[in-house]
Amino acid sequence: MSRHIERINSIDAKLNEEMGPTFCLAKWHHTTIYLHRGQTHSCYHPHPHDIPLAELNRNPSALHNTKEKIRERAEMLVGEKPTGCKYCWNVEGLSDTHISDRKIRNASIYTPERMDEIKKNPYDFKVNPEYIEVAFSNECNFKCGYCHPMHSSSFYQEVKKHGPVTDVKNHSVDINWFEAIEEDNNPYIDAWWEWWPEVSKTLNILRITGGEPLLHKTTWKLFDDLHNDPKPNLEINMNSNLGMTHRHVEKLVTNVSGLLEASAIKKFKLFSSMEAWGKRAEYLRTGLNLEIWEKNQDIYLRGVKNHITHMCTFNILSVATFPEFLAKILEWRKKYNDIIPDSEIDPLIRKIRFDTPYLKEPLQYDMHILPKHEFLHYFDTTLNFIEDNMDEQDVTMFSELEYEGFRRVRDYFATENYDDERIRQGRVDFYRWFNEYDKRRGTNFLETFPEYTEFYYMCKEFSEQDEKDIIARSE
């Protein structure tokens, strides 16, 4: 067992004994805040919830310390399982050997001081979190199919032009029920800057997301603020699709290099997103040009000489060909092995990293609507590929933790059983969604994903039967 897994298990056992088996430090010290929507959640697994402006008027820390989170903290302290955290309860329900994100986050956030603070204070005390992920805007040059117009201005404009996908039940992408607030006149951004002087004193990691943060004015304002008022103990992370012009990435390199050289920040880490390669990746992420993307990755890695992490939104269309993307990971690890310096803390940390959380929504992208007997072998092929290229002591190969990360995806696919109606609806939506997707975006699903041909026509039959059933019920 690797020492990374040993540490996760050790801290998990300690917290189970001290705080109970459902305790998650993320509810206190980890938050994602969507300032363009006025919403938050403790991590990206629970659904976001609204931040009441009335609470912000009393205390800008309500960007994180909402009444809903405080209620969930109270539940965890007495051993209950908040319903929004179902992702981790499902993983932990597979077996004691599976490592959930709750356990990983507990290990990454844990310090004795943080635990003492939680123990000595009432459950509803106002926490200044150690980790904040913040989106300043939904402006984005991509419109990934499993995303939503509230996160992407490009997707929003498409729906504004063509309307919602009305015959899909679970992802109609209707835009009439929410408002994306502009950066220049946003009370949540005002509250952010009001909270910033206080929260930045104790904040360890600030992660900027979007939309596409390199297109947001507030991102560059934050960099200017850090140049003028350094935070030498703060680590800045950024999620970027790396799909814009090279000058944006070159500007990022200039800012990051300057901040690091002046010790104005402690560290900088970049996160991008990919879960396929070639024409499949460009189909999944409309707006992606792989040639531009790979060049931008190269500009960043050679300019900042720092690690990059690829967040894989593992979904139904990743299943058949995921090893193609993993082969690129191995290629990049070898290519940049001598360019990125070894970590002073841990020379065995992978220099091109990836994670494999699986997508739960929208339903037509959920892997669980696939027939298990026909698609499970793809998971086994991927797992075998990782195992065949795994060496804990070689940073150009896969690690045991990466193997375990995908093993839980494989096992969850094999054991999770949706009821017949959910599977039926997911397959109806699959056919109708991608049929409309191709019309709107000039793409061709079957040419891009020939491995899914039989499944596609199965879903077409479900859709046609659904239409017949509707007609029969109306007669």
Q: Is there a contact between 269 and 205 (Cβ–Cβ < 8 Å)?
A: no
Would you state the pLDDT for residue 408?
93
3-state secondary structure of 449: coil
Question: For residue 400, which phi and psi values (nearest 5 degrees)?
Answer: -65, -40
Contacting residues for 287 by C-beta, under 8 A, at least 6 apart: 141, 142, 143, 154, 241, 243
Q: Distances from the Cα of 146 to the Cαs of 177, 286, 360, in angstroms?
A: 18, 11, 10
Would you state the pLDDT for residue 340?
87
Would you state the pLDDT for residue 44?
81
Neighbours of 162 (CB within 10 A): 12
3-state secondary structure of 218: helix
Of 93, 92, 36, 31, give the one whose Cα is nearest residue 66: 31
Contacting residues for 414 by C-beta, under 8 A, at least 6 apart: 372, 376, 379
- Structure letter (DSSP) for residue 409: H
Instruction: Name the residue type at position 413.
Output: F
Contacting residues for 289 by C-beta, under 8 A, at least 6 apart: 243, 282
pTM of the prediction?
A: 0.89
Would you state the pLDDT for residue 98?
84
> Token pair 């920040």 is at which residue?
265
Q: Is there a contact between 379 and 414 (Cβ–Cβ < 8 Å)?
A: yes
Contacting residues for 334 by C-beta, under 8 A, at least 6 apart: 396
Which own/partner contact pairs does 113-120 have at CB distance under 8 Å and 24+ positions apart?
114/25, 114/28, 114/29, 115/18, 115/19, 118/19, 118/28
Distance in angstroms (rounded) separating the CA atoms of residues 152 and 49: 18
H or E stretch at 271 = strand 265-273
Instruction: Name the residue type at position 45.
Output: H
Question: For residue 269, which phi and psi values (nearest 5 degrees)?
Answer: -130, 140
Q: Is there a contact between 98 and 408 (Cβ–Cβ < 8 Å)?
A: yes
The gap from C-alpha 307 to its chain's centroid, in whole angstroms, comes to 18
Helices (H) and strands (E) in the chain, counts: 19, 11
Would you state the pLDDT for residue 345?
59
Q: Is there a contact between 127 and 29 (Cβ–Cβ < 8 Å)?
A: yes
Would you state the pLDDT for residue 474?
82
Give the angle subtended at the CA of 419 by the CAs of 414 and 425, to the nearest 5°: 105
Would you state the pLDDT for residue 453?
98
List, for the chain, all residue ranges whose pLDDT scores fall below the cut of 70: 1, 343-345
Q: Is there a contact between 122 and 439 (Cβ–Cβ < 8 Å)?
A: no
Gyration radius of the chain's alpha carbons: 22
On the CB side of 386, CA atoms within 13 Å amount to: 23
The gap from C-alpha 176 to its chain's centroid, in whole angstroms, comes to 25
Residues forming a β-bridge with 269: 237
Contacting residues for 215 by C-beta, under 8 A, at least 6 apart: 137, 139, 140, 141, 244, 248
Q: Is there a contact between 403 and 387 (Cβ–Cβ < 8 Å)?
A: yes
Distance in angstroms (rounded) separating the CA atoms of residues 238 and 216: 12
- The packing angle between helices 290-304 and 246-261, to 10°, is 20
Distance in angstroms (rounded) separating the CA atoms of residues 465 and 459: 10
